[in-house]
């Protein structure tokens, strides 16, 4: 995968390996949170490379959680749907596309970036100590349907 998405997976893998190594050496446990996407869970019109990259990231999250749980390391992912960001600005300018998005989003709106803070805080805090190997979808309910 000599492309941006494949590169993103490689970087996530390498960063997880380095963080896990340090956490194991320090014997202090820790939390790793990957940024996946609903595209790794359901079929989307985002393209095969993006979808398979995110699916691989979600599977990596599960396997690392299994391997590193014995060291007190929690590994989880956040799986967002559409949020207002510079990356989605052009797509969200297309009213017909937004209508398609909202049609499969039970909350009938696009996410706001501050709404990603709570899930990350939860997974990185003591409240998330018994959660590992999971992808927490922050998607307005979209993964109930698919797109």
- In order, the DSSP letters of 24-49 are HHHT--EEEEEE--GGGTS--TT-HH
Alpha-carbon gap, residue 100 to 132, rounded angstroms? 33
Residues labelled as active-site residues: 50
Query: Residue 57: which of 89, 14, 91 has the closest Cα?
Result: 14
Alpha-carbon gap, residue 79 to 58, rounded angstroms? 9
């Amino acid at each position: 995968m000599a492309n941006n998405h494949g590169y993103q997976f490689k970087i996530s893998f390498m960063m997880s390996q380095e963080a896990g190594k340090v956490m194991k050496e320090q014997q202090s446990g820790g939390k790793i949170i990957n940024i996946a996407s609903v595209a790794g869970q359901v079929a989307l019109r985002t393209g095969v490379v993006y979808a398979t990259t995110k699916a691989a990231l979600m599977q990596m999250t599960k396997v690392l959680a299994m391997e590193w749980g014995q060291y007190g390391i929690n590994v989880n992912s956040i799986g967002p749907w559409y949020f207002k960001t510079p990356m989605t600005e052009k797509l969200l300018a297309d009213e017909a596309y937004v209508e398609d998005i909202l049609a499969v989003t039970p909350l009938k709106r696009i996410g706001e970036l501050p709404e990603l803070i709570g899930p990350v805080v939860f997974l990185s805090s003591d409240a998330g100590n018994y959660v590992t190997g999971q992808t927490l979808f922050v998607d307005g309910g979209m993964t109930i349907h698919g797109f």
